[in-house]
Structure 1
Amino acid sequence: MTAAATPRLKSWSWTELLFVAPYLLLYVVFLVYPLGLGFIMSFQYFDLFAGQAEFIGLENYQQLFSDRIFQGAVVNTFKFVIFTVPTFVALGLLIALALNRQTWWAATLRTLFFASNVLSVTIVTLIWRAVYLPQKGLLQNFLDVFGIQNIALLQDPNWALQAIAVTTIWWGIGLPMVLFLAALQQIPGEIYEAAELDNASPWQTLWHITIPSIWRTVVLVTIIQIIAQFQVFGQINLMTAGGPNNSTRSMVQFVYEAGFRQWTAGFASAAAQVLFVIMIVAAGLQFWVSRRKQEF
């Protein structure tokens, strides 16, 4: 091969950096710097109200892991993720399969399902607080038909977290549905025609053709929802404020209350670092499991 035929890499120029500089600047200022500052603060006694900082080593973490309220918040957060993430994946895929049609009614239903996704958390919680009203709510009016009286889900420690999970699923189901629809529409129709000629059942077609073809999207939706649901805060704060009896308090709400109500920013930063590690491990584990499944 002659020197003229050898591929040559384009020389790097400082002018090219100008195109990515705004993004890099915002990324560093609003993500990298706060992340690093929070990590440093987690080893300090940092009184946010007084503005005083003192290095105390691992005391924040020691206090954190012995705090029963924080332990309960970790358990509640994991429960919430277990309630919501599999439902988002399964229900989102089911709706996408049902509405993957070029008809006017399918387009209308897709719009309706996605419409809730654009609502603010305040509007969503107002709607569902009205649904869950013990005596005059929509749910109670429905249960009155069956003779069931005085169901107060948000006041019941055994059901409040599940009620908020239902609210969250109703609010956010539009995004998984759209992602699955986009993936389904990329599958060639010839594959389904071949399966039909081989007399494959709908279940066989789903399991052996559809799901393997959209597996990357399944992994994407799962990771997105794991990260999102570990950060649940708004609907819990507005619907139950962590009650009753701390049964719905999440890790993010614990961080918020420690930092902006008790003004112990160092303690709150330690809790935030634990949440960050849990999110990274959970998302990484899901990604690793999906890659192993693809190999087999």
Structure 2
Amino acid sequence: MVDVTLSGARSAARAVARQKVQNINAPLWRNALFVAPYLFFFVSLLVIPLFWGIWLSLHKADAFGTGRFVGIDNYLRLFRDKIFIQAIGNTFYFAFLTVPALAILGLMLALALNRKTKAAAVLRAVYFSSSVLSVTIVTLIWRIVFIGNFGLLATIYGWFGATSPAFLSDPKLAMIGIAIATIWWCIGLPMMLFLSALQQVPAEIYEAAALDNASRWRTLRYITLPSIRRTFVLVLIIQVVLQFQLFGQSKLMTLGGPNNVSKPIVFYIYEAAFTKWDLGLGAAASEVLFVLILIAAMAQYFISRRRGEEG
């Protein structure tokens, strides 16, 4: 009788414990409180502005409020505007100049500074320090370098009796000058991402390659690069998104000139929305920019992923 009572008590205790475990693991609505702050800012700062911008781009809007519904008329006005078409080309050209350079130079710096020495640590800090500067300081520095007749570059060329390139006034060189300043400014982030990826590669693999007398080139090609492939794709996508949003360097260094050759899409949006106060046109241009960034980033991701699977 006692054994029966004890076994019944044990069964009841197991049932209570099982019920507690089930209650702990059961989904509870109050757990949503942990993600509520993130969801609030995500919705208020990203989702709502996205749909508000789409809605605004379909209306005739100005500084005094939203006017009548015009459908896709703002988008038709955009693609009839030669300056906007030129701004799209300028943006793609700038991304072509900066994104590959940032990825390749960042990888080269990471490979060179991936050492446990004080000199490497100091150089990592030096190269990354430019990334913490504001766009105003960066453009001021490079205006001092590029300004004709009195700039640092003109002074160096003058030592050899030559004339320096007019990066800020030559239509063929204006975007290249902005790209040089941007690469100097942004090189720290890809370098640190590549350094982080390189430090995650197991040292045993390199030791095995050394025992097989593998050259540095073969080690780089068959061990290092395949190991950091995903980081390389990440760097490319991040830089595509960032460089498509060029604005401050262009406005502060060249004002979009000469002849609009250095005016990107964001500069066009700024002028349309906050200089001409045509908010509907500016919203339409921003939606076009969003689609272009999305397409470029996704294309880069799928192309890199397919190459990785084939390799």
* Residue from 7, 22, 34 that aligns with 1:19: 34
Task: Could you list the structure 1 runs, at least 4 aligned residues long, displaced by more than 3 angstroms after superposition.
Answer: none
Structure 2 Cα separation of the partners of residues 15 and 160 of structure 1: 56
Structure 2 Cα separation of the partners of residues 76 and 241 of structure 1: 14
CA contact (8 A) 2:78 2:281 kept: yes
TM-score normalised by structure 2 residue count:
0.91
**Residue in 2 aligned with 1:86?**
100
Q: Secondary structure, in 3 states, of the residue corresponding to 1:53? A: strand
The alpha-carbon deviation at position 136 of structure 1 amounts to 1.5
Structure 1 Cα separation of the partners of residues 33 and 220 of structure 2: 47
The alpha-carbon deviation at position 201 of structure 1 amounts to 1.6
What's the CA shift string for 1:14-45, capped at 9, x where partnerless? Answer: 22111111111111111111110000111111
Aligned amino acid, residue 206 of structure 2: Y
Gaps of 5+ in 2: 1-17
**Residue in 1 aligned with 2:171?**
157
Q: Secondary structure, in 3 states, of the residue corresponding to 1:45? A: strand
Q: Secondary structure, in 3 states, of the residue corresponding to 1:33? A: helix
Q: Secondary structure, in 3 states, of the residue corresponding to 1:244? A: coil
Gaps of 5+ in 1: none
Q: Secondary structure, in 3 states, of the residue corresponding to 1:54? A: strand
- 2:64 aligned with 1:58: no
* Residue from 128, 149, 154 that aligns with 1:135: 149
Alignment of 1:207-218 (within 5 A): 207-218=221-232
Q: Secondary structure, in 3 states, of the residue corresponding to 1:155? A: coil
CA RMSD, aligned part only? 1.5
Aligned amino acid, residue 232 of structure 1: L
Aligned amino acid, residue 43 of structure 1: L
* Residue from 6, 9, 33 that aligns with 2:48: 33
What's the CA shift string for 1:208-232, capped at 9, x where partnerless? Answer: 1100000110011000000000001
Q: 1:150 to 1:174 in 2, by over 3 A?
A: closer
**Share of identical aligned residues, percent?**
53
Alignment of 1:111-130 (within 5 A): 111-130=125-144
**Residue in 2 aligned with 1:67?**
81
**Residue in 1 aligned with 2:4?**
none
Structure 1 Cα separation of the partners of residues 243 and 119 of structure 2: 31
Higher Rg: 2
Structure 1 Cα separation of the partners of residues 169 and 260 of structure 2: 11
Aligned amino acid, residue 44 of structure 1: H
**Residue in 1 aligned with 2:124?**
110
- 2:308 aligned with 1:294: yes
TM-score normalised by structure 1 residue count:
0.95
Structure 1 Cα separation of the partners of residues 100 and 165 of structure 2: 26
Structure 2 Cα separation of the partners of residues 282 and 92 of structure 1: 21
The alpha-carbon deviation at position 150 of structure 1 amounts to 4.9
Structure 1 Cα separation of the partners of residues 226 and 208 of structure 2: 16
Which has a greater percent of helix?
Answer: 2
Structure 2 Cα separation of the partners of residues 10 and 294 of structure 1: 39
Structure 2 Cα separation of the partners of residues 126 and 169 of structure 1: 15
The alpha-carbon deviation at position 52 of structure 1 amounts to 3.9
The alpha-carbon deviation at position 154 of structure 1 amounts to 0.4
Tell me how many residue pairs correspond in the alignment. Answer: 291
